Amino acid sequence: MDTILEVKNLSLNIQKKQILDSVSFSLKRGSFTAICGKNGAGKSQLLRILKGLRKQSDGAIFINKEDVSKNRSKRLTQVGLVFQESDLQIVGETVEKDLRFGPENLGWSEDRINNKVDEMLNLFSLTSLKDRRPSTLSGGEKRRLAIASVLAMEPDILFLDEPFSALDYPSVISLIDTLIMLHEKGVTLAVVTHEVERFLAHTTNTLILKNGRLIYDGASESALAELKKAEVYVPNLPFKDLSWKM
Ligand SMILES: Nc1ncnc2c1ncn2[C@@H]1O[C@H](COP(=O)(O)OP(=O)(O)O)[C@@H](O)[C@H]1O
Ligand SMILES: [Mg+2]
């Protein structure tokens, strides 16, 4: 598998505080990565930089081997980001209109937009909800719509920031199913979370941030001891049981 994203010595200082300290890693095409760390570790700031919403203080970002460190507008389309407050990302009057919004802004042809909207409605089991107002959806359905609307724009990589927050148990299970389905379809996926016990068993690799520094980059199965060092809660279970989906 080839490398889709490479980050070299990425640092972020806000005022005098070092938020990210020389973070380097790469993600393989088609990988399903968990990016973990306790609250305040720097996870969301890392995503904001990768997406191009914030300028790094130092360091380089390559996507598909191209240096896009200074090309924030290119990263905006290459990097899909589902925010923690994903409800705020939903702008359409209906489910279908929300899915159309991004592709329309990208200036796609009507045919291409219609095909993409149908594909996303099917993939995310939203077809029966397509005329509903987003405000009438359940929390889990809203989260699925937010992910579908980001993926509709065909980003190279899809990042999700704390996607499990504020979801009830059935919605967490349904979201895990969605993530597994996207991984099986070949989407390059990275989930940022401090709640690893919900889904870690399904990921291919793990990155751990502690105080803005990357302290682990490797197989998820071997990450458990390091997660504890980073003060991320992990129940005393074998790796294969680290999923709410049994
Ligand atoms: N606008 C800001 N100004 C100053 N500090 C900030 C700002 N945004 C985030 N931080 C700090 O950056 C650190 C990392 O935050 P964040 O990336 O949100 O952590 P995480 O997502 O891992 O919980 C925290 O210490 C936070 O207080
Ligand atoms: Mg965060």
Residue 15 is predicted with a pLDDT of 92
Per-residue pLDDT of the chain (246 residues; tens, 9 = 90+): 799 999 999 999 999 999 999 999 999 999 999 999 999 999 999 999 999 999 999 999 999 999 999 999 999 999 999 999 888 899 999 999 999 999 999 999 999 999 999 999 999 999 999 999 999 999 999 999 999 999 999 999 999 999 999 899 999 999 999 999 999 999 999 999 999 999 999 999 999 999 999 999 999 999 999 999 999 999 999 999 999 997
Q: Which atom of ligand 1 is nearest to the CA of 41?
A: 22
Q: What is the 3-state secondary structure (H, E, C) of 143-168?
A: HHHHHHHHHCCCCCEEEEECCCCCCC
**Residue 243 neighbours by CB under 8 Å, 6+ apart:** 176, 197, 198, 199, 200, 201, 202
Contacts of 31 (CB under 8 A, 6+ apart): 1, 188, 189, 190, 204, 205
Q: State if residue 231 touches ligand 1 by the CB under 6 angstroms criterion.
A: no
Whether 100 lines ligand 1, by a CB cut-off of 6 Å, is no
Distance 148 CA to ligand 1 centre (A): 27
The residue count of the chain comes to: 246
Please name which ligand lies nearest the alpha carbon of 35: 1
Beta carbons of 23 and 213 less than 8 angstroms apart:
yes
Cα 210 to Cα 23, 43, 83, 96, 141: the distances in Å are 11, 9, 21, 40, 32
Contact between residue 120 and residue 61 where contact means Cβ atoms under 8 Å apart: no
* Angle, CA 57 vertex, CA 192 and CA 33 arms, to 5°: 20
pLDDT, residue 108, reads: 98
Pick the residue whose CA is nearest to atom 26 on ligand 1: 40
Residue 218 in 3-state DSSP? Answer: strand
Mutation test residue for ligand 1: of 10, 14, 211, the one with most atoms within 8 Å of CB? 14
CATH number for the domain formed by residue range(s) 3-241: 3.40.50.300
- Ligand 2 centroid, distance to 192 Cα (angstroms): 8
Q: What is the pLDDT of residue 87?
A: 86
pLDDT value for 86: 85
The domain ranges of the chain are: 3-241
